[in-house]
Amino acid sequence: MEDAQPFFASGNYVPIATEHDVADLPIRGELPRGLRGTLFRNGPNPQFAPPDPARHHWFLGDGMVHGFTLGDGRAAWRNRWIRTDKFLAERAAGRALATGFSGGRELGIPDTGVANTSLAWHAGKLLALEEAHLPWALDPATLDTLGVEELGGQPRRFTAHPKADPATGELVFFGYSTAGPLSAEMAWGTLSPAGAVTRYERFPVPFCAMVHDFAVTEHHVLFPLMPLTGSLPRAMRGAPVFAWEPELGGHIGLLRRREGIASLRWFRAEACYAFHVLNAWEDAAGRVLADVMEFAAPPLFPRADGSPSPREATRAHLTRWVLDPAAGTDAFRRERLDDLPGEFPRMDDRRAGLPNRHGAYMGQSRGEGLDTLAWCDLATGGRRHFSVPAGDALSEAVFVPRHAAAAEGDGWLLTVAWRAAEGRSEVLVLDSRDIAAGPVATVALPGRVPHGFHGTWVPANA
């Protein structure tokens, strides 16, 4: 991609070469005594410069996981590359081998992905995830790579964003291109609380698209099939593998969890895109509501002719999609909820799939990097926020309840801050009751955490 090189070569996108083990980090302020566990974060960190920088994309770097363990007033940091098949083949060769989205298949490297996007804690396992391959299991204490989770040999692809059902303990997942690379087929399924595949169904879709996230409610599953298309013929002629084709329009698949794909139906809308879902639920009238970060056109990807989308179109806003299965129409309604552009929405996961009042996302108050933590009250439309100085940036904020019985949204928000002037990172702990007051505790790191994607909190007693 023409605009991908800066994500490899500039600022805090530059990879780091060190795996750290730091047992006792300096802390300003005081860590809350009830905050005991580990914040895990995942992101791309290539171990070698790509062989063809023009074809390198931020999404393709080797996965590196950072673990920040907090408790008893102390903080520690450990980070490790995930030892995927690609990582090990390139380490043995002493150089990068894979080019573009192929992952090195043409060189005989097993197609097991880079595990660089997010993390999930399920069935007592820490899983490193990305959207085109099965999960990789990690040792939560050491971050050692344990291997691919084969999941009984059924699923071929697994999402970076599975949804944990707080009522049943199930993990709901999906995958795209499940009939082969860049194929027009998707699948969805469930894992039991013990980690066994309890359902897996495949179904055709109107076209191959990058479907990064989806939505799950108590009774429904929603698949946003938007026209960020994948094309094998396009890839074979050296054009972008994934490109924006808005003329294809937007599609949202909706099925009932109990009935599965037999109940699948499609809603239509003008083309838009959402990498990430905050939450979804059903209201008293049976409508399905999903709060997403909606783009008019996706960033980081060109149109099919190679031209970029207008810059303003590639800024996301918190938007509510409303689908009414009983309305007798395939249209759905869209309503913008906030005017601050941003990305990476998170919530109190105890309300996943159920109506929620609070949600966070990382805002762009200056129009460029993610410099603001926005904490929204969806009942009143209010928003409180915390911002860092110009040039600094914040990672996705992970919510941790104050205690097991705390009210929804009562707790702490954890984010990693990039301090540009100092060339290092910090872990910030903010109290959800007073976000604007700034962090109650700041953990200073001796190095840098490159800009990444997603994280998860695992309590010490999990």
Q: What are the binding residues for Fe cation? A: 161, 212, 276, 454
Contact between residue 207 and residue 176 where contact means Cβ atoms under 8 Å apart: no
Distance of CA 391 to the CA centre of its chain: 23
**Token pair in block for residue 309:** 């989308």
Round to whole Å and give the CA distance between 98 and 171: 32
> In b/e form, how buried is each residue of 26-45, taking b as 16+ CB within 10 angstroms?
ebeeebbeebebbbbbbbbb
Dihedral, CA of residue 122, residue 123, residue 128 and residue 133, to nearest 10: -100
**Among 389, 411, 388, which residue's Cα sits nearest to residue 400?**
411
Q: Is 311 exposed, middle or buried (0-12, 13-18, 19+ CB in 10 A)?
A: exposed
- Which residue type is seen at 323? L
Q: Is 337 helix (H, G, I), strand (E, B) or coil?
A: coil
Residue labelled with tokens 């002629």: 237
Structure tokens at 74: 């102390």
Going by C-alpha positions, the residue among 255, 288, 272, 84 that lies closest to residue 172 is 255
Q: How many CB atoms lie within 10 A of CB 260?
A: 16
User: Per DSSP, what are the bridge partners of residue 444?
Assistant: 426
102, 172 Cβ separation under 8 angstroms:
no
Report the distance separating Cα 40 and Cα 355, nearest Å. Answer: 26
Q: Report which DSSP code applies to 396.
A: P
User: How far is residue 205's CA from residue 167's CA, in Å, rounded to a whole number?
Assistant: 30
Coil, helix or strand for 117?
coil
What is Dmax (Cα atoms) for the chain? 60
